[in-house]
Amino acid sequence: MSEKERYWVKEYDSMNPDKGYNMTEGGEGGRQSPEVIKKMSEAGTKKWHEKEYRGKQGKERQERAKDPAWLKKITDINRKRGQDPEWRKRVSEAGKKKYREDPEYREKQAKERRERAKDPEWREKMREIGKQ
């Protein structure tokens, strides 16, 4: 049924407001237009600049992180991403840029490193990594 719907929506160009009323390609979902994607991106970016919104999102993520199934899912996703050299390069460049340009971030990172260095388990783990 979904294939037929997509066929007829395309055949009659019914996503074109002058010819039809369909807002999607039909079937089980559809693609957003580039304009809609851009508006959604701008709205999300604008919200992220609100301190209250970021705090709420952070708390929600901390709660989700308590769920072992969610943690496994995210771990698997990140492991897969980490195998992509292009992704690793982008993340590396973004981190370097933030470190260069944001003194508060630099200080926060230094403070966290000093705290971690006090933990004997962490130091041992770093020693093992250094041997590899």
Please, is 26 exposed, middle or buried when counting C-beta atoms within 10 Å of its C-beta (0-12, 13-18, 19+)? buried
Cα of 76 vs its chain's centroid, Å: 14
Judge contact between 88 and 96, C-beta under 8 A.
no
Tens-place pLDDT, residues 44-96: 999 999 999 999 999 999 999 999 999 999 999 999 999 999 999 999 999 99
Tokens of 19: 């010819």
The residue ranges of every structural domain in the chain are 1-31, 32-83, 85-132
Contacts of 23 (CB under 8 A, 6+ apart): 15, 30
- Residue 26 has φ and ψ, to the nearest 5°, of 95, 175
Q: Could you report the per-residue pLDDT of 7-54, keeping only the tens digit for each?
A: 888 888 888 888 777 777 777 666 778 998 999 999 999 999 999 999
pLDDT of residue 119: 95
